[in-house]
Amino acid sequence: MADLNFHHLRYFWAVAHYRQLTKAAEALHISPSALSIQLRQLEDRLGHALFERKNRRLELTEAGRIALEHADAIFKTGQELLNTLKGVPTQSRPVLRVGAVATLSRNYQIGWLLPLLKEESLGIRLVSGQMRELLSQLANHSLDVVLANEAAPRDTAAGWISRRIAHQSMSLVSRPTDAGRRKVRVLRFPDDLQDQPLILPSQDSAVRLAFDLILEEAGVRPQILAEVDDMAMLRLLARETGALALVPPVVVTDELKSGLLIERCTLGQLQENFYAITMRRRFAHPALRSMLGFA
């Protein structure tokens, strides 16, 4: 109700907690008669009686109890707003709203979130999607941070800030052969990739563009079995096909530990970067201030 008078609601809230008109009027520094008029105006606006008198005390009606629940929530939220803007911790459990680009490694997301999940006083809301839609949600304050494997587009008007929070060398991994289980042969990059079946990130990836350039300059022509923009799918294809796959090791952490996949070559010249993208805001989320190290 856009035209609800919140002064009237505050008066009602005080009377509901004091249960006596006189005491509530003293606390509000107005006369009992003026307070009574304000209550009647609120009741008229809501269309329901909020109190009934029993043994010289005011008792809430059913409508009054419903109104008090909402009034409690409204004024609690108002106090939390003031505390947040003053930098004072609130008693309620704050929520950190995190967006993650759909192509970002799930293992990396879990590793980034684990320290936050251990904070019992903090709630986490995680959503995934395409970069464009996540940045839109970040701009309209629906998200506090976006995790991505690429920086946000350079747009000073938008106010996006991309912080590189981690990086990792890319690797070529594959299923081990029976011989490979006894002794892993390290590939010579890029020479040994001639005619090799490969599973690669899509051409939208900065890492893929750099990888293609190295092979082009060396005159090496591999067999490209698949181009995948989803790291989870790339991991599954590496497990099931036996072909070489270009991934950051964090994507296949469990497979490398179990021996289901082996690292055939580390490509130090190719780096996968991980970014935390935020907006220029005066009131940053406290959890981000500590994790990302900005005031």
CATH number at residue 229: 3.40.190.290
Indicate whether 151 and 188 sit together in one domain.
no
Domain count, the chain: 3
Q: Is residue 13 part of a domain?
A: yes
Instruction: For residue range 109-121, list pLDDT tens digits in order.
Output: 999 999 888 887 7
Using CA atoms, how far apart are residues 34 and 32, in angstroms rounded to an integer?
5
CB 27 within 8 A of CB 18: yes
CB 234 within 8 A of CB 107: no
204-222 CB burial, b ≥16 within 10 A, e <16 = ebebbeebeeebeeeebeb
Q: Is residue 1 part of a domain?
A: no
Indicate whether 60 and 103 sit together in one domain.
no
Range of the domain at 79: 6-86
Indicate whether 183 and 263 sit together in one domain.
yes
CB 172 within 8 A of CB 265: yes
Query: pTM for this structure?
Result: 0.67
Using CA atoms, how far apart are residues 125 and 48, in angstroms rounded to an integer?
38
Q: In this predicted structure, what is the pLDDT of residue 92?
A: 62
pLDDT in tens, the chain (295 residues): 457 888 899 999 999 988 888 898 999 899 999 999 999 999 999 999 999 888 777 888 888 888 888 888 888 888 878 877 777 666 566 788 999 998 888 999 999 999 888 887 788 999 999 999 999 988 877 888 999 999 998 876 678 889 999 999 999 999 987 654 556 667 899 999 999 999 999 988 889 999 999 999 999 999 999 999 888 899 999 999 989 999 999 999 999 999 999 999 999 999 999 999 998 776 667 788 777 764 3
Indicate whether 138 and 280 sit together in one domain.
yes
Indicate whether 152 and 110 sit together in one domain.
yes
Indicate whether 161 and 280 sit together in one domain.
yes
Indicate whether 19 and 72 sit together in one domain.
yes
Q: Is residue 228 part of a domain?
A: yes
Indicate whether 236 and 180 sit together in one domain.
yes
Instruction: For residue range 59-91, list pLDDT tens digits in order.
Output: 888 888 888 888 888 888 888 788 777 776 665
Q: Alpha carbon of 45 to those of 9, 10, 90, 190: distances in Å?
A: 11, 14, 32, 77
Indicate whether 81 and 118 sit together in one domain.
no
Q: In this predicted structure, what is the pLDDT of residue 101?
A: 93
Q: Is residue 102 part of a domain?
A: yes
Q: Is residue 103 part of a domain?
A: yes
Which of 69, 86, 103 is a domain's end point? 86
Indicate whether 11 and 47 sit together in one domain.
yes
